[in-house]
Chain A
């Protein structure tokens, strides 16, 4: 219980907190074509959130035993939301991105629910 509370305290609750925890700057994507900016801005936010939640630990894709968790969303304009999480070991689907995985299911779920808008904007932006 104490361990869980400690973990909770470290978790960012907002994107601003994620930037602080990860030590990443807020950046301006104006050098990217205008119609692609939202996608790249949110992709960057997603990376920073993931880094903050993973405490900068990077996935080892040569390690089959290390599970890499990602959230999966039900795509509905009125009810975009988390239906389940899923892990990969040696396979990578295009777009899954090694920078967007967590190391346990609970963190992946937290990321998906707490930062739903960011994940949504990556999908539609």
Chain B
């Protein structure tokens, strides 16, 4: 996870101590830059390293606990779970709330690994397919499409390994 050190003046420290929220905002903007806070998630995440940085999750475990033939599958699933977590910006989906749609990228196999690609995104509300899990669903339809395109290889591995 990337980290930065915030340096604050004596005046800002006193303002923060006295509970002035705008002082904290200014201090954060000075260190990270305004753009850092304005960039939407779909622009700031372009790689799995960005996903780890966004979520603060450790890198993919080696899954040496599971039998060898399942390790790559679990590694790919971990990646997809963390990718969904990053794009949902930490919000955990309540699967019992039928008013809240859960979106998934949908892929067409096209008969070969090289032709595997995003077909469309689909949503569910009251129903859930076995194994789909709240941890793999996206809150926004557009993010389901973006995830399916940007992280096609990770999803292909999870679905095929």
Q: Could you tell me which B residues sit within 8 Å of A by CB distance?
A: 57-58, 61-67, 70, 73-74, 77-78, 80-81, 95-96, 98, 104-112, 119, 122, 126-137, 144, 147-148, 155, 158-161
Contact = CB atoms under 8 A, between A and B. Distances in A.
A61 B65 CA distance: 27
A72 B129 contact: yes
A116 to B, nearest CB: 10
B135 A92 contact: no
Nearest to A100: B131
**Which 4 residue pairs are nearest across A and B when measured between Cβ atoms?**
A95-B136, A95-B132, A100-B131, A27-B65
B156 to A, nearest CB: 9
B81 A39 contact: yes
Interface of A: 24-25, 27-33, 36, 39-40, 43-44, 46-47, 61-62, 70-77, 83, 86, 90-100, 108, 111-112, 119, 122-125
Contacts, number: 142
A94 B65 CA distance: 24
A15 B108 CA distance: 32
Contacts of B148: 94
Contacts of A29: 65
A43 B75 CA distance: 13
Nearest to A36: B81
Pick from B67, B105, B130 the residue with the most CB of A within 10 Å. B130
Contacts of B135: 36, 39
A70 to B, nearest CB: 5
A111 B108 CA distance: 26
Contacts of B95: 75, 123-124
